[in-house]
Amino acid sequence: MKHFTHFRDLSPAIASAIITRARVLKSGERSNALANKLLGLLFMDPSLRTRTSFDAAATKLGGQAIPLDVGQGVWGLEFLDNIAMNGDKPEHVREAAGVLSQYVDILGVRAFSHGEGLASDEADRVIGAFRKHATVPVISLESAREHPCQGLADLMTMQEEFGDLSQVNIALSWAPHIKSLPRAVPNSVLLTAAAMGAKIKIAHPLGYALAPEITAEAIKLSEQTGAKIEFFTNQQSALRGAHVLYAKSWGQTDALVAPPNDPSLASWMPTEKHFDLADPKAIFMHCLPVRRGVEVAHEVLDGPHSRVLEEAGNRLWVQMAALEYLLS
Amino acid sequence: MKHFTHFRDLSPAIASAIITRARVLKSGERSNALANKLLGLLFMDPSLRTRTSFDAAATKLGGQAIPLDVGQGVWGLEFLDNIAMNGDKPEHVREAAGVLSQYVDILGVRAFSHGEGLASDEADRVIGAFRKHATVPVISLESAREHPCQGLADLMTMQEEFGDLSQVNIALSWAPHIKSLPRAVPNSVLLTAAAMGAKIKIAHPLGYALAPEITAEAIKLSEQTGAKIEFFTNQQSALRGAHVLYAKSWGQTDALVAPPNDPSLASWMPTEKHFDLADPKAIFMHCLPVRRGVEVAHEVLDGPHSRVLEEAGNRLWVQMAALEYLLS
Amino acid sequence: MKHFTHFRDLSPAIASAIITRARVLKSGERSNALANKLLGLLFMDPSLRTRTSFDAAATKLGGQAIPLDVGQGVWGLEFLDNIAMNGDKPEHVREAAGVLSQYVDILGVRAFSHGEGLASDEADRVIGAFRKHATVPVISLESAREHPCQGLADLMTMQEEFGDLSQVNIALSWAPHIKSLPRAVPNSVLLTAAAMGAKIKIAHPLGYALAPEITAEAIKLSEQTGAKIEFFTNQQSALRGAHVLYAKSWGQTDALVAPPNDPSLASWMPTEKHFDLADPKAIFMHCLPVRRGVEVAHEVLDGPHSRVLEEAGNRLWVQMAALEYLLS
């Protein structure tokens, strides 16, 4: 039985095959891979794109989704083992995962990082518990460590635009925000780009580094694929010659540095001017939702560089291909 | 691409054709107009009839609905343009509408008036933003200005009862309530009745007038169709000879007049006695939900005049016909 | 028109036939009993198993479920008759049930006991109102008095394990909890076991008796079927020779006795040691959700006796068979 909750569940070749299949499905080929099958979608955090695109994906594949909201309609879940459950969580993941596995054929789970540090994100306890206790394939709808379907959709979008990914320069830039956000998206963009052999320059302020485990995993992938990974604490260095400006905010690891809403970091918000150093054909990407005028300038989102809608649209197709893969 | 968020999106002839088609569907004719298609249903306000009947309509047409609750499971939405999004709404309608358009084939939106005055209702900013930024047909699940599917279901119910609508006298009467409600339903009943050529007498207390734009639009429709529209601030004048007593509460426009729960307005609550002046075959209608014993007497809702359940049932059939129309 | 909200809606023979049919469906036989049909699922209380398994059941039978959460997306419901509805419930069950009956073919309703005493549970006002005002079959998703699909799934699980139910000794034992829970599950286990002719020993602390009406109904069933029912206020007496240890917490009826979380009752929590007196092949059952380390020891849930997952899995099959029965 296969799971897909982290990039390491795929090889670079399989990731590439999923993107290729996604493009075939987008071109109009029909599939009934989920005929008579049910996809459970368990949300512990909010969602617009993921909820709708997975529901649509299940239906387009001839199946049916069952969305469930934990703690809202559905009992709150406990994840700690060997405790006396005398708090506000009436159900344990051991039972929930075991039970749902008997009703659905694939189980999607969304469980964000709650900002308990990089070690906690790396452990990815919640999605790990579902992998352990479910008896059907588990697919991530974004967890503390990664958002793997986002990574696939992002690289698919770059491939549609530029073809051969080994020639694509990606500037993955930190952006300001009103609060400290999880790192799942930048982690997945980095890992997927590394596996696809792209050239990635990651820029963030001091104190905002990605986790060493993620960086090490990306470097290991790059050794297989010829990808090139560089880190900068200066945004301009990353933008030079970029084909893709991928912006995303995430939280600091060092409590002593300026927080994401500090005025001293406001210049990290992409504007049209940020494209001056980039390749003339450069595109702008962001996983959404995006805070306009805080994280990204209106002019960029509404301007000619933006591919944020196409990128979100591709979520549907990569997820259809990923569901096919899990059932194959 | 067609939208259906306001009555003006249809001509009287098309509205009439939708009602005729709804009656054919109700009589048992099957349709697969939504085969392999998805209907997104985005709720910014609560719903029983609309949510269930649109979901049922999509399924009966061979398609599938995806209900989404904004701010509850789904990210809260911002509608103001050109602001710095540093508040509690993490996503802008520009992205939300553009993204959802790639996952679904039709997008339904519910966004009530929040009592910011007639000018705000008239502007109907939220549903307007979805029309502007969606790239698929948008259908109203009730907005600040109108509840157009309710209007169609109401006139269908009258037609089933009395046949030729040009001979039907409708008394659309204000009713008491514990709070100030939106005008979308009376607006839609008036516009649809005017377009169908009926005779409408609208009664409400002083200070509770409908918006001048709605009245003007209804009068213009009546000039095409021969409908007759009269306004009264006295309930009895409207009830005389009525074939339909349609009751509904809405809020005052003039802060100096008695509020909807003022004891001096309690006699506006329809009782059996209110039918003394009406036609002997008169029926009672209300869009539901209704506060029994406050807005309408129990005896009326449980008595022989009531058609409130039939009226709600007809929502299903007009919505199926409207969805067919949007895809045709 | 048939309803299934209480065990008394079935005869023992029909209950037995539903379990037999459930086992056929579980063995892989396909059914299209719900083709082109809609199952409304109205939740007034949280649910994981019931929500997911009924949704899955509808889909597996070729139909479609429409889940609705009252008071959360869907208008709050009033159940009292002849009152002025000036509180926080904008809609009455008379309208809600009548309207939904026009959109769906079967209506499922979940409405827990809210601890207003045994007489209130016995009256079962909420589910009773839906039976009265709906014009389609109503099926219980658990009400104040009973959880009838749970009872069927439980006896199916015992039958799969031991075959002939007349030879099965069931120890239905009260268990500790952090709060006072409803009695719907023990009521349904008792009634269904009595109807299936099993031998049931019910153990609970003083002041925790089941309702006299339930006991009387079970005794009456046992007179038809040869079931044997005994009550103990001592857990060990019930465990002796048991094939099934069925644990479940419920609230006290006597305010003077120790509450469910009283340390003096902690020994009622099943541990591996509790199986010492039981039959060597004894199994452990619980309806879930279960508070580990409070209501049942981890070692039991994770150990060889446990059948709690199989039991939850059987909910799907008995519900498919019950839906077939309601439409037959």
**Domain spans of chain A?**
7-147+315-327, 149-311
Question: End-to-end distance of chain B based on CA atoms, in angstroms?
Answer: 10
Is the fold of A7-147+315-327 the same as that of A149-311? yes
Nearest to C22 by CA among C287, C320, C313, C324: C320
Residues of chain B neighbouring A294 (CB-CB closer than 8 A): 84-86
Using a CB-CB cut-off of 8 Å, the residues of chain B touching A43 are 73
CA–chain centroid gap for B224, Å, is: 22
Q: Which of C95, C105, C133 to mutate to test the interface with B (most CBs of B within 10 A)?
A: C95
Give the chain B residue nearest A314 (alpha carbons).
B102
Of C53, C59, C294, the CB nearest to A85: C294
Which one of C36, C79, C85 makes the best mutation probe of the B interface by having the most chain B beta carbons within 10 Å? Answer: C85
Instruction: Give the Å distances, CA to CA, from C261 to B223, C150, C236, C248, C257.
Output: 74, 25, 20, 13, 11
The SS3 call for residue C103 is coil
Q: Which among A60, A289, A312 is the nearest to B102, CB-wise?
A: A312
Determine whether the interchain pair A294/B73 forms a contact, defined as Cβ–Cβ distance below 8 Å.
no
Q: Which of B36, B64, B93, B95 to mutate to test the interface with A (most CBs of A within 10 A)?
A: B95
Fold of B150-311: Rossmann fold (3.40.50)
- Give me the DSSP letters along C129-190: HHHHH-SS-EEEEEESS--HHHHHHHHHHHHHHHS-GGG-EEEEEE---SS---SHHHHHHH
Q: CB A51 to CB B64 under 8 A?
A: no
Chain B positions touching chain C (beta carbons under 8 Å): 43, 46-49, 51-53, 55-56, 59-60, 67, 69, 72, 178, 261, 288-294, 298, 301-302, 308-309, 312-313, 316
Q: Do A90 and C309 touch (CB under 8 A)?
A: no
The pair of structure tokens assigned to B144 is: 């600040």
A38, C56: Cβ pair inside 8 Å?
Answer: yes
Residue C182 confidence class, pLDDT cut points 50, 70, 90: very high
Instruction: Tell me whether residues C293 and A66 touch, CB distance under 8 A.
Output: no
Residue A317: both structure tokens together: 């197709």
Q: Which of B40, B75, B82 sits opposite A46 (nearest CB)?
A: B75
Residue B114 pLDDT: 85
Q: Is B240 exposed, middle or buried (0-12, 13-18, 19+ CB in 10 A)?
A: middle
Summarised one tens digit per residue, pLDDT across range B22-72 is 999 999 999 999 999 999 999 999 999 999 999 999 999 999 999 999 988
Residues of chain A with pLDDT under 50: none
Q: Is the pLDDT assigned to residue C327 strictly greater than 90?
A: yes
Q: Is the Cα torsion angle B238, B244, B250, B253 positive or negative in sign?
A: negative
- B318 to chain A, closest Cα gap in Å: 25
- Cβ atoms C278, C185 nearer than 8 A: no
Radius of gyration in angstroms for the set of CA atoms belonging to chain C, rounded to a whole number: 19
Do B91 and A52 count as a contact with CB atoms less than 8 A apart?
no
**Residue to test with chain C: of A100, A103, A133, most C Cβ within 10 A:** A103
Q: Give residue A73's pLDDT.
A: 82
Residue contact B73–A298, C-beta within 8 A: no
CA angle B81, B82, B87 (to 5 degrees): 80
**Considering the domain A149-311, what is its CATH architecture?**
3-Layer(aba) Sandwich (3.40)
Class of domain C7-147+313-327: alpha beta
Q: Which of B36, B74, B82 is facing A46, going by the closest CB pair?
A: B74
Q: Which two tokens stand for residue C282?
A: 């004894």
B139 vs B57: CA distance, rounded Å: 13
Sheet holding A106-111, edge to edge: A64-69, A38-43, A106-111, A138-143
For residue A35, the chain B residues in CB contact (below 8 A) are: none
- For residues A189 and A172, the answer to whether their CB atoms sit within 8 Å is yes
pLDDT at A71: 85
> For residue B74, which residues of chain A lie inside 8 Å, CB to CB?
46-48, 51
Chain C residues within 8 A of B290 when measuring between CB atoms = 91-92, 95
Q: Is the pLDDT score of C71 beyond 90?
A: no
Q: What is the mean predicted confidence (pLDDT) over C159-171?
A: 97
Instruction: Enter the CATH code of domain B7-146+315-327.
Output: 3.40.50.1370
- Give the C-alpha separation, C213 to B153, whole Å: 47
Which of C36, C84, C103 has its CB closest to that of B294? C84
Residue A207 to chain B, least CA–CA distance (Å): 23
Residues A251-287 pLDDT 10s: 999 889 999 999 999 999 999 999 999 999 999 999 9
User: The pTM is what?
Assistant: 0.97
pLDDT at A14: 98
Beta-ladder partners of B110: B43
Dihedral sign from CA coordinates of A235, A238, A241, A246: negative
- Using CB atoms, which chains have 3+ pairs under 8 A with A? B, C
Using an 8 Å CB-CB cutoff, list chain A residues near C294.
84-86
**What 3-state class would DSSP assign to B297?**
coil
Please report, as a single letter, which amino acid is at residue B187: N
Task: Give the whole-angstrom CA distance, residue C159 versus residue B63.
Answer: 40
Task: Mutate one of A78, A79, A85, A130 to test the C interface: name it (highest C CB count within 10 A).
Answer: A85
- Residues of chain B in contact with residue A72, where contact means CB-CB under 8 angstroms, are 72-73
Q: Is A7-147+315-327 assigned to CATH 3.40.50.1370?
A: yes
Q: Do the Cβ atoms of B102 and A309 come within 8 Å?
A: yes
Give the one of B94, B95, B103 whose C-beta lies nearest to A52's C-beta. Answer: B103
Asked if C48 lies within 8 A of A92 by C-beta distance, the reply is no
What is the C-alpha separation between A202 and A211, in angstroms, rounded? 13
Give, for all 328 residues of chain B, the pLDDT tens digit.
Answer: 999 999 999 999 999 999 999 999 999 999 999 999 999 999 999 999 999 999 999 999 999 999 999 988 899 999 999 999 999 999 999 999 999 999 999 999 999 998 899 999 999 999 999 999 999 999 999 999 999 999 999 999 999 999 999 999 999 999 999 999 999 999 999 999 999 999 999 999 999 999 999 999 999 999 999 999 999 999 999 999 999 999 999 999 988 999 999 999 999 999 999 999 999 999 999 999 999 999 999 999 999 999 999 999 999 999 999 999 999 9
> Hey, are the CB atoms on A48 and B91 less than 8 Å from each other?
yes
CA of A69, closest CA in chain C: separation in Å?
A: 9
